[in-house]
């Protein structure tokens, strides 16, 4: 058997208590393993009536702990060993019963004993019938535990297995995963209010057509997600994209560059830093025609007018805020980026050659060079956009520390 304390990835202990949502916990383990978390599962007696330990064991690749005083389990994966292994203890689904026991200080099975013994943060995702969830005893228990530093996820609303509609569903495994990642992340951006732009603009030509670009918004959304995880308050001004807003982020949806400018200027005074990842449309048609342009013409001429440069405008009135721009280039990357850094009065620019493999608009990865106003140049290898977002924030914090 693998020793408990090894590897670089983070250790999550998942406690499964007996509710119908147990099956969703299986999917959650799959997602955690895919993201290289090391997962140990503890099952309560009742939960094994819904899903067998073998299911969790197969998915997690680790033995499942079910008993407090079993001779074999206690010597291999004893309760203190599991409690110490946990960097985060998640209980999903958390029944009214397990929440009540924890609130009362009862430790009469393996899961509740591990809760008592662990020093890791504990996250509970309650899932039950809507009336059970509203029960004042449960609500009192949740209030008490929150006051003691336990973390809770709100159940989702919708159709419940008991036949009722209402609040009581276990949130989607992807949302629970996001909450886990957020709790495990250092909150070094606490106190920052980040204004982030993302995605393309659409500049209307007529009621059915527009000019746009290939931006997917993925870089800006990755910045928003990682910023929120690191404790910042995040306002995301987004052009049209297919992406869901990351949890804990306030999204303002816009279409044209003019709308983006209005939203940015309105939020700018209250933010500490701006990250302009949007591919702002440089031009808009001079006349947007109110009727659909008919086909059949031999040729059609469009006259375009430049849009205002939002970032440049912010740079002219910086007021001590950190400004971060993006430069998508197809040639002379560093020289062009450095010129933009200077011209727009930025603190940092993220330059990427969009013609390079793994870099650019629609993918999940990027190859970028960070250039700062002090002359620093940091060429980064190919990495996921989330990781690049983290590197950008590390750099932002360094700039902030040096400016003190």
* Binding footprint of ligand C5P on the chain (CB under 6 A): 257, 276, 278, 280, 282, 307, 309-311, 325-327, 340
Angstrom distances, CA of residue 295 to CA of 25, 206, 299, 339: 55, 13, 9, 42
Angle between helices 218-229 and 173-184 in degrees, nearest 10: 60
Min dist CB 103 to ligand C5P, Å, is 49
Which positions ≥6 away from 192 have C-beta within 8 Å? 227, 231, 232, 233, 272, 273
Min dist CB 253 to ligand C5P, Å, is 17
Min dist CB 215 to ligand C5P, Å, is 10
Q: Are strands 203-206 and 209-211 parallel, antiparallel or unpaired?
A: antiparallel
The residue whose two tokens read 């011209």 is 343
Q: What is the DSSP string of 154-185?
A: PPEEEE-TTS-EEEEEPPPHHHHHHHHHHHHS
Answer whether 42's CB lies under 8 Å from 82's CB.
yes
**One of 80, 116, 161, 162 is an active-site residue; which one?**
162
Answer whether 138's CB lies under 8 Å from 96's CB.
yes
Answer whether 29's CB lies under 8 Å from 1's CB.
no
Q: What is the DSSP string of 32-59?
A: HHHTT-EEEEEE-TGGGGTS-HHHHHHH
377 DSSP β-pair partners: 371
Which positions ≥6 away from 43 have C-beta within 8 Å? 15, 16, 51, 53, 56, 64, 65, 66, 111
What is the C-alpha separation between 139 and 157, in angstroms, rounded? 17
Min dist CB 319 to ligand C5P, Å, is 17
Min dist CB 329 to ligand C5P, Å, is 8
Residue placing its CB nearer to ligand C5P in the complex, 86 or 276: 276
Helix (H, G, I), strand (E, B) or coil at 127: coil
What is the C-alpha separation between 60 and 56, in angstroms, rounded? 6
Helix (H, G, I), strand (E, B) or coil at 388: helix
Residue placing its CB nearer to ligand C5P in the complex, 76 or 317: 317
Q: Is there a catalytic annotation at residue 162?
A: yes
Closest CA to 395 of 404, 383, 377, 385: 377
Which positions ≥6 away from 349 have C-beta within 8 Å? 324, 325, 326, 327, 337, 338, 340, 341, 370, 371, 372
What is the C-alpha separation between 372 and 403, in angstroms, rounded? 13
Active site residues: 162
């Amino acid at each position: 058997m693998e020793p408990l304390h090894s590897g670089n990835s983070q250790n999550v202990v998942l406690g499964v208590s007996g509710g119908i949502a147990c099956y969703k916990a299986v999917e959650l383990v799959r997602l955690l393993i895919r993201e290289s978390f090391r997962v140990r599962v503890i099952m309560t007696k009742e939960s094994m009536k819904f899903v067998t330990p073998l299911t969790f064991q197969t998915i997690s690749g680790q033995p499942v702990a079910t008993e407090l005083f079993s001779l074999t389990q206690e010597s291999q994966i004893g309760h203190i060993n599991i409690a110490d292994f946990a960097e985060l203890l998640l209980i999903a689904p958390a029944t009214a019963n397990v929440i009540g026991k924890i609130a009362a200080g009862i430790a009469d099975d393996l899961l509740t004993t591990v809760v008592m013994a662990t020093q890791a943060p504990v996250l509970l995702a309650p899932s039950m019938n809507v009336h059970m969830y509203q029960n004042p005893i449960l609500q009192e228990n949740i209030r008490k535990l929150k006051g003691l530093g336990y973390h809770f996820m709100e159940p989702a609303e919708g159709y419940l297995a008991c036949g009722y509609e209402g609040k009581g569903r276990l949130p989607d495994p992807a949302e629970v995963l996001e909450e886990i990642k957020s709790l495990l992340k250092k909150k070094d951006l606490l106190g920052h209010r980040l204004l982030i732009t993302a995605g393309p603009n659409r500049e209307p030509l007529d009621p059915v057509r527009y000019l746009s670009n290939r931006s997917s918004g993925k870089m800006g959304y990755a910045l928003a997600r990682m910023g929120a995880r690191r404790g910042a308050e995040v306002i995301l001004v987004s052009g049209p994209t297919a992406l869901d807003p990351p949890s804990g982020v306030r999204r303002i949806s816009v279409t044209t560059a003019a709308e983006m400018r209005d939203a940015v200027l309105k939020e700018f005074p209250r933010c500490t830093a701006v990250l302009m990842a949007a591919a702002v449309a440089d031009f808009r048609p001079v006349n947007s025609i109110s009727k659909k342009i008919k086909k059949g013409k031999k040729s059609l001429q469009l006259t375009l007018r430049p849009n205002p440069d939002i970032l440049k405008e912010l740079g002219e009135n910086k007021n001590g805020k950190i400004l971060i721009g993006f430069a998508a280039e197809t040639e002379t990357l560093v020289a062009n980026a450095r010129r933009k850094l200077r011209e727009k009065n930025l603190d940092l620019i993220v330059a990427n050659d969009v013609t390079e493999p793994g870099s650019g608009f629609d993918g999940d990865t990027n190859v970028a060079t960070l250039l700062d106003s002090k002359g620093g140049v940091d060429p980064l290898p190919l990495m996921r956009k989330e990781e690049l977002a983290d590197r950008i924030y590390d750099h932002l914090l360094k700039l902030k520390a040096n400016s003190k």
